[in-house]
Structure formats: C-alpha cells, structure tokens
Amino acid sequence: MPRNRRPVDRAEKRSEIVNAARSLFVDDGYEHTPMGRIATAAGVTTNTIYWYFGDKDELLVGVLDEIHADALSRFVALADKSVTEQVLWVVDELERYHRLVDTVHSRTSVSAYIDKWHNDFHALWEQWIAVELRNDGVADTDIEPATRMIVFVIEAMLTHPQDEASKRTMIDLLFRKVGASS
C-alpha cells in the first residue's frame, strides 16, 4: 500500500528547491551542478523541479531573486551610512557571490531570461546610484555618465579584487570626482 505523504504547499516546495540550488550554485558553481544533483539535495525528482521551473536558467533566476531579496532586506539597515559605506557593502555582497555574478554575465548572451534579470538588477541599482548622486547635488547632465562610471568601477572591483583600504580609497575618490560627497 502506498504511503500517504502530507500535502506540501507549492510555495514551500519551490522554496526547498531554490534553497538546494542556491547552496549548490554558490558552493560548486552553476556549470558544475546538474539538475539531478539539485533534485537529490531538495529531496525531489528531477521532473518535480521542472514542474516549478521551466529550465535551469529559470531556477537560477529563482536563486538570484532570493539572494537579492535577502540582500535588499539587509541593505535598508545602511540608510544612515555614507554612500561610500553603502557601495562598499554592495561590493562585498557581490564578491560573496562571485561565481553567480560570473555565471550571470556569461549567460546573458544565451538566455533571454537571465538577460532580463540582469538588466532589471542593473536598472534598480543604477537608479539608486542616480538618486544618491542627485541628492548630493550632482548636475542632471552628469548623473547618467557618473552612474555608468560608478557601475564600471564596481564591476572592475569584482573582476580585479582589491583589499578593503584600496576599495575604500577608489570609491571615495570616484564620488569626489563626480561631484558627490562620499
């Protein structure tokens, strides 16, 4: 006689799959994590994952959404910190997930789903930078190029790691050069 299983809420099961994938993607990398391994870690069959996610890229976006939501909930506690401290915190967060950052950048050209997530992520954070610059009195004509420069420096820090003092010095200088207080 088949055993009766307790019904599992769809959101709960989806969360279990995302948590298993998150752990494996962060520890072992997206490319080295087959769906079967995620299924085993989540205690489901591979087919079950496909009931919740269309493909591995969609699952990756689920993981990215969870990581980003966690980060945003912690970021709000930095509201009283300087913009330099906030940017350094963002850089540290991105460094924690360097494998996933690399994966997103490499997959944007092959996955429209990941490309959209990446563009939305950039839009949100670029908007935050622009607001900070505007609040610091940076001229409207300089907001867009200054925002791009800041993003480029942050991305360079991710591909060319720096010690904390160097990061702080670069961010302080960058904000001073664009006419914002740091």
More confident residue, 6 or 23: 23
Backbone angles phi, psi at 138, to 5 degrees: -70, 135
Distance in angstroms (rounded) separating the CA atoms of residues 65 and 146 = 27
Q: In degrees, to the nearest 5, what angle opens at C-alpha 112 toward C-alphas 54 and 70?
A: 70
Q: What is the pLDDT of residue 2?
A: 45
What class, spelled out in words, does domain 1-53 have in CATH? mainly alpha
**pLDDT tens for residues 8-57?**
688 999 999 999 999 999 999 999 999 999 999 999 999 999 999 999 99
pLDDT mean over 130-151: 96
* Cβ-Cβ contacts under 8 Å for 104 (sequence gap 6 or more): 60, 64, 114, 117, 118
Q: What is the pLDDT of residue 63?
A: 98
**pLDDT tens for residues 61-96?**
999 999 999 999 999 999 999 999 999 999 999 999
Distance in angstroms (rounded) separating the CA atoms of residues 7 and 165 = 52
**pLDDT tens for residues 87-132?**
999 999 999 999 999 999 999 999 999 999 999 999 999 999 999 9
Hey, where are the domains in the chain? 1-53, 71-177
Sorting pLDDT into bands at 50, 70 and 90, what band is 171? very high
